[in-house]
A and B are shown apart, each in its own frame.
Chain A
Amino acid sequence: MSVAAVDVSLIATFHRESYLAGWTLDNLSDLRREADAVGISHELICMLDKADDETAEIVRDHVGLRKQDQVVHVDCGDAGLNRNEGVARARGEFVATFDGDDYFSRNWLSAAYRVLAAGSRARVVLPAYLVSFGAESHVYEIPDQEKVVVPEEALLTIHPWISTAFIAKRVLEQWPYQSTRVEETGFAYEDWHWNLEMVAHGYKFVTAPGTARYYRRQADSLLTRATKGQGIIRPNALFRRRPNERSNAKPNL
């Protein structure tokens, strides 16, 4: 078994965020300093997916970038495929994913690392709260499957988790994201799909106490576009299970 070069690979995706990308990178620098303080080694991989020149320049020139970090130009045009590209370049034992215009509480990396390192790798760690701001302002306590029951039947009509996660890299290698390209295929919500695949294969979604993702709600977000485009998640292993197959799945780690 190969030994990871760093503990955590931060994979951040950028498109056309412009100056917001700079703010997010400032926030990531805060997270990284906190991780440094507790001895967690890490790298940052900035995925510029069809990014405009201005965003690319802001990312490339950010003062928080370190020597081992990577800035990668890709032409995926798809959130899932873009993340897979990032994972392929990651050298960490764990991967933490980020979007290019959000914020996280600065203890996120250290808290998530503590949760995952202390127990089974067959878990996906999420922040304890999703705090939406901007076009809408909500506080949402993300359900932790080790504390509350999330009925599998409810997952047909509701997605209780989020797209950014902290997880063992080998899990993402085993279960890569699927492409969506809603305009072409009618499929959307790669995160909802991936999360359900995880549930189907026996993984648990847990939260790191005292952490939050601060999610910028814009009037024309990807989510809004998916809704306008009448997107739906791809066929999914969870929905192809019979009653007697439920809750018996064991992750193959």
Chain B
Amino acid sequence: MSSFSEAERERALDRRVASVLPERKRDRWLQRFADLYRELVDAARSNDLASSRWRFRLLSTTWRIKFAIMRHLLRVHRFKASNEEAPAVVEPPPAVVAPPPAVVESHKEAERTERLLLPWMIEDFKRFAGNEPTLWPDGEFVSRFSSYKPYFNRAPGQLYFHLYSLLADAKIETVVLCPWLKRGGGDKGALQFVEYYAKRGGVALITTLDADSPWLEKAYKGVQTIEFGKLARDLSEDERIAILTRLLLELAPRIVHNMNSDLVWRCFSRHGKALRSNGAKLVVSLFGDEVDPSGRHFGYAITYMPQVRNFIDLAIFDNAPYRDTIRRRYRLPEHRVRRVPFWHETAPFTREHASTVSPAERASVLWAGRLTESKRLDILFAVAQACRDVEFHVFGESDAGASVAMWRNQLAELPNVRLHGAYDSFHSIAERRSYRAFLYTTAFDGLPNVLLEAACHWLPIVAPPEIGGLADMIGPETAFPVDDGADAHSYVDALCRCLADPTEAMRRAQNAFELVRDGHSRETFNAAMDVALVGFG
């Protein structure tokens, strides 16, 4: 009796599944099994198939039937479809097609798998067994074999070719990648880098998260912008990395600059060596470690630098303290770590922006920023509670979370605290009234843009210099330094010194203004970039 061919067997299964699967249910089933399939591929990739959950599934008859239907749906209907909506998986794990040997217990099962090896292959193995007896094709040996079928997933390649055709003629010399472009200090910095590069050659600006980027329209004229995260939202991370890396290899830009995109850090981790072999200089921007409540540091540098340290040509910092930390931590030479302070427009601001309130009036203090756990709302509360004769005006959007909500409620109950909510621009809130000080509380940071804003508005700053990159701005001549950033009493002391001597406060505010005007100008930014990129060709 001749055995069924592989194709005949598959056709029989297709007919069987088609007969039990009504047309109207097919799409829904297809989606359901595409999800299951993706879960299975993930499990195979993470070597999770040996877990009890998957062992149960692979051994269970019900699940085996599900896998058969899934295979049928994916192969017959999805493969023959128009390809636009192919599920985002790369290739099926072999375990899907046939169960592990332990499952093959019944005579019927053994027959089924034996047919995978064609008769002439069995004869070939018998010949090979002359030298290599372990290849003798007995029942146990042939039952090990499963059928491997590649899944021709077109979706990643389609997106790749689309992006390549958009950028191929633009003579891209630099690719800047960031998660998104929204209102924020880092986003402003990204636009400054883009402008710098765009004045020297073709630039592509690529956002990698599936999120809105309203500031993309602010990109320097002529810059090619691509919302990759949105375009690739249905693809797996491996596929997104494959597309981005291929794009960077084929476009062969001179510089690839990562501004905080986790996907690009992963891309550098996997393929940084190849990108450099292809002639690209890899640049990353770093701003500061993050710190959890227990004091443990984390962040991009900590996660990825051990893997990419040798591939990174240049790490750019907006502040010197973090540059020095990273240089020391990863033993990097000076030319690979550079401070490039973002530029800040100071021209519209004059001494007239300074507070004109007399000491006799009730002092108002400004606090502005996102209300998050990391902003040490507990300290803000303690300071406000201790300084009942001072009015605190708190601006900023609140993060979700029980802790933030609790501190927000606590602050709202203090009679000397005004919670104003989100704000459009620092200028709009600074103009509302004459504040006597700008109070900055935080657990960690780089060099926050809001401090530059406060200095531009001639606001005396009370902040802890030892945290993150704040020391670049906060010193005894430019601010009222808080001795211990984790201690509310230190904040109260510094704030009291500030409020008690308006003349001295104004002198320091002027120094801070001049520091921003001179140290954060467009010219200093450009000059620092010129130095940082020496040797980049």
Contact surface of A with B, Cβ cutoff 8 Å: 22-23, 26-27, 30, 103, 105-106, 129, 131-133, 136-141, 143, 150-158, 160, 184-187, 210, 212, 214, 230-232, 234-236, 239-243
Query: Could you say which residues of chain A place their CB within 8 Å of the CB of B252?
Result: 235
**How many Å lie between the Cα of A155 and that of B270 in the bound state?**
19
User: Which residue of chain A has its CB nearest to the CB of B101?
Assistant: A137
User: Which residue of chain B has its CB nearest to the CB of A150?
Assistant: B152
State the 4 A-B residue pairs at the shortest beta-carbon distance, nearest first.
A153-B157, A186-B273, A186-B274, A154-B152
Chain A proximity of B371: nearest CB distance (Å): 41
User: Which residue of chain A has its CB nearest to the CB of B241?
Assistant: A232
Query: Could you say which residues of chain B place their CB within 8 Å of the CB of A140?
Result: 147-150
Chain B proximity of A208: nearest CB distance (Å): 13
Query: Could you say which residues of chain B place their CB within 8 Å of the CB of A139?
Result: 116-117, 121, 145-148
User: Which residue of chain B has its CB nearest to the CB of A181?
Assistant: B277
Among A103, A133, A153: residue with most chain B CB under 10 A: A153
Stretch at the interface among B33-41, B126-134, B482-490: B126-134
B127 touches A106 (CB 8 A): yes
Chain B proximity of A236: nearest CB distance (Å): 8
Q: List 22 A-B contacts (CB under 8 A).
A: A27-B128, A103-B124, A103-B128, A129-B121, A131-B121, A133-B135, A137-B145, A138-B146, A139-B145, A153-B155, A153-B157, A154-B152, A156-B246, A157-B153, A158-B91, A185-B273, A186-B273, A232-B245, A232-B274, A239-B164, A239-B249, A243-B165
Query: Could you say which residues of chain A place their CB within 8 Å of the CB of B149?
Result: 140-141
**How many Å lie between the Cα of A77 and that of B263 in the bound state?**
33
B131 touches A26 (CB 8 A): yes
Interface residue from B91, B160, B269, B272 paired with A239 (Cβ < 8 Å): B160
B272 touches A186 (CB 8 A): yes
B156 touches A186 (CB 8 A): no
User: Which residue of chain A has its CB nearest to the CB of B97?
Assistant: A138
Chain B proximity of A248: nearest CB distance (Å): 15
- B62-96 toward A: CB 8 Å interface, digit per residue (1/0)? 00000000000000000000010000001100100
**How many Å lie between the Cα of A230 and that of B270 in the bound state?**
5
Chain B interface, >50% SS class:
helix
Known: A105-B120, A139-B146, A158-B91. A151 touches B132 (CB 8 A): no
Known: A138-B147, A158-B152. A235 touches B250 (CB 8 A): yes
B275 touches A240 (CB 8 A): no
**How many Å lie between the Cα of A230 and that of B273 in the bound state?**
9
B153 touches A154 (CB 8 A): yes
Query: Could you say which residues of chain A place their CB within 8 Å of the CB of B243?
Result: 156
A212 touches B121 (CB 8 A): yes
User: Which residue of chain A has its CB nearest to the CB of B270?
Assistant: A230
Chain A proximity of B76: nearest CB distance (Å): 15
User: Which residue of chain B has its CB nearest to the CB of A183?
Assistant: B273
Query: Could you say which residues of chain A place their CB within 8 Å of the CB of B250?
Result: 235-236, 239-240
User: Which residue of chain B has its CB nearest to the CB of A129?
Assistant: B121
Known: A138-B148, A210-B120, A232-B271. A157 touches B156 (CB 8 A): yes
A141 touches B6 (CB 8 A): yes
**Which residues between 148 and 173 of chain B lie within 8 Å of chain A, taking CB atoms?**
148-158, 160-161, 164-165, 168
B117 touches A131 (CB 8 A): yes
Does B278 count as interface, using CB distance less than 8 angstroms?
yes
Query: Could you say which residues of chain A place their CB within 8 Å of the CB of B273?
Result: 185-186, 230
Interface residue from A150, A184, A214, A234 paired with B124 (Cβ < 8 Å): A214
Contact surface of B with A, Cβ cutoff 8 Å: 6, 83, 90-91, 94, 116-118, 120-121, 124-125, 127-128, 131-132, 135, 144-158, 160-161, 164-165, 168, 238-239, 242-243, 245-246, 249-250, 252, 269-278
Query: Could you say which residues of chain B place their CB within 8 Å of the CB of A230?
Result: 269-271, 273
Query: Could you say which residues of chain B place their CB within 8 Å of the CB of A23?
Result: 128, 131-132
**How many Å lie between the Cα of A242 and that of B146 in the bound state?**
38
Contacts A212-B124, A241-B161 given; 12 further ones with Cβ under 8 A?
Answer: A22-B131, A103-B128, A105-B124, A139-B147, A140-B148, A140-B150, A153-B156, A155-B157, A157-B91, A230-B269, A232-B270, A242-B165
User: Which residue of chain B has its CB nearest to the CB of A148?
Assistant: B152
**How many Å lie between the Cα of A156 and that of B156 in the bound state?**
7
**How many Å lie between the Cα of A95 and that of B275 in the bound state?**
33
**How many Å lie between the Cα of A160 and that of B249 in the bound state?**
22
Query: Could you say which residues of chain A place their CB within 8 Å of the CB of B242?
Result: 156-157
Query: Could you say which residues of chain A place their CB within 8 Å of the CB of B158?
Result: 153
B164 touches A240 (CB 8 A): yes
User: Which residue of chain A has its CB nearest to the CB of B7?
Assistant: A141
Known: A129-B121, A131-B117, A210-B120. A239 touches B246 (CB 8 A): yes
Among B90, B135, B150, B277: residue with most chain A CB under 10 A: B150
**How many Å lie between the Cα of A114 and that of B192 in the bound state?**
63
Interface residue from A27, A158, A241 paired with B150 (Cβ < 8 Å): A158
B274 touches A156 (CB 8 A): no
Interface residue from B6, B91, B147, B160 paired with A156 (Cβ < 8 Å): B160
B152 touches A186 (CB 8 A): no
Known: A137-B146, A151-B157. A235 touches B278 (CB 8 A): yes
